[in-house]
Each structure stands twice: as structure tokens, then as C-alpha cells.
A and B are shown apart, each in its own frame.
Chain A
Amino acid sequence: MSTRTITVIGFVAVIAALVTLEILGRRKIGRIPTLSEWLGYVMRARTGRALILAGWLWLGWHYFAR
């Protein structure tokens, strides 16, 4: 198994973990919040709101302007 394959598996594993958390959150298993819930909680404050929107903008710049 090459290093590249291991790297790809690592990314897939982390993304799969995120998807699993979202599914568990939607099914109300283990008191895990959904992405929408914790984003909403973080964005209650203006600072959190600014940070999350800045993160969204950065993602756009990173994938679409570069």
C-alpha cells in the first residue's frame, strides 16, 4: 500500500467520521449535535458569526480562486 493510498484513506476516514456524526446527530443518538445545530450555536455571537463566514469565504477562495 503506497503512501498516497494511505493519505487518501486517511481523508476518506475523516470525512466518513464527519458524515457519521451528522447521521448520529439527526437520529438523536448520543446527544451529538448536527452540523446545523452547532453552527447555529457558534453563530449566536457576532464573533462566531464572523469567524464562520470568514471560514466559508476562505473555502471559496481556496477552491475556486486558486
Chain B
Amino acid sequence: MTAGNTGADGAAAERSSRPPEQPPTRRPPDGPLPLGARPARNAIVGAGVIGYAWLLGGAAPFSTRALLYVLLPGAVLGVVAFARPPERIPPPESVDVAGFSYWMICIALLFEWEASAVRQDTPAHPSLTDLINPLIAPHPIKAAAIVVWLLAGWALVKR
């Protein structure tokens, strides 16, 4: 009789004595977890962002408080971007020069149109700021716009 020769009944007994096989656990790959993997943390961060946007939206224009509320996320993102950058989305190796120039032309036109409106400073030639400010004057809408701005900043940091 050799060791380990348990036979068919012995093998069945051995299987039944073992704990039921656990399904193979899938360990997440190295790197950040998917967006929805930490719902509690995401909810807390989201509530913080919305709350901060609400505070900034309620600040009076041209006030020190409003300025500080804008500078604070800028400082935070600056530190994150340069000192502790998150996992960044790989940038393209190159971009088409002609295609990129189309973007630059449109952006330059936008800035020039805006600058000419600011220089003239007449109701007949409103600046983009003059057009947008009444739209974002209500507090909830302004807060929503600030949330979009903050999310855009985070998206830039991840680039």
C-alpha cells in the first residue's frame, strides 16, 4: 500500500472535507481603480465639489472672498499637477499642424472679438462676459458652471 492511495471513496471523502472551492478572486490590476469602484469616496468628493461651488457662487463679485475661493482650487490643482500628478492620460506623440492651426485661428478670433468689445465698452458691442454674466447670475446656475470649471481643471491635470 502506497501513501496517498486513497481509492475512489477516499478521494470523494477528501473532496468533501475540503472547503467549497472559492471562485478565483480577481485582483485588480496595478493602477487606479475604475471610477465607480469607490462610490463612498466619490460621493464625498462630489458633495465637496458641489458645496464649494455653491459657496463660490454666493460670493460677491470683486470681493476678496470670491478671489480666494477661485485661487484656492487653482493652488490645489497646481500642487497636484506638479508635485503629485495623478495617472495621466497619455498624450499624442504629435498633432497635425494644419488641424491645430484651425483651432488656434478660431481661438484667436474669439479673443480678438472679445478684446474689441472690451475696448469699446458699449452696449452696442457687448463682450462675451457681458453676454454670459446674465445667464449665470442665478446662484444655482453659477454653482453648476463652477462645478463644470472645477471638473475641467481636474481633467486638465489628468492630461
Contacts and interface: CB of A to CB of B under 8 A. Distances in A.
Interface of B, helix, strand, loop or mixed by DSSP: helix
| Chain A interface bracket (under 10, 10 to 19, 20 to 34, 35 or more) | 35 or more
A38 B103 contact: yes
Contacts of B106: 14, 17-18, 21
Interface string A6-31: 01101100110110010001000011
Interface string B38-69: 00000000000000000011010111001101
Contacts of A57: 70-71, 74, 153
A49 B78 CA distance: 10
Interface stretch (B8-16, B23-31, B122-130): B122-130
Interface of B: 56-57, 59, 61-63, 66-67, 69-71, 73-74, 77-78, 81-82, 89-92, 94-96, 98-100, 102-103, 106-107, 109-110, 113, 117, 123-126, 128-129, 131-133, 136, 142, 145-146, 149, 152-153, 156-157, 159
A65 B67 contact: yes
B153 A8 contact: no
Contacts of A43: 91, 156, 159
26 contacts: A4-B124, A11-B113, A25-B99, A31-B96, A31-B98, A32-B99, A32-B103, A35-B103, A36-B159, A37-B92, A38-B95, A38-B100, A40-B89, A41-B91, A53-B157, A57-B70, A59-B149, A60-B73, A61-B70, A62-B129, A63-B132, A64-B66, A64-B70, A64-B145, A65-B59, A65-B66
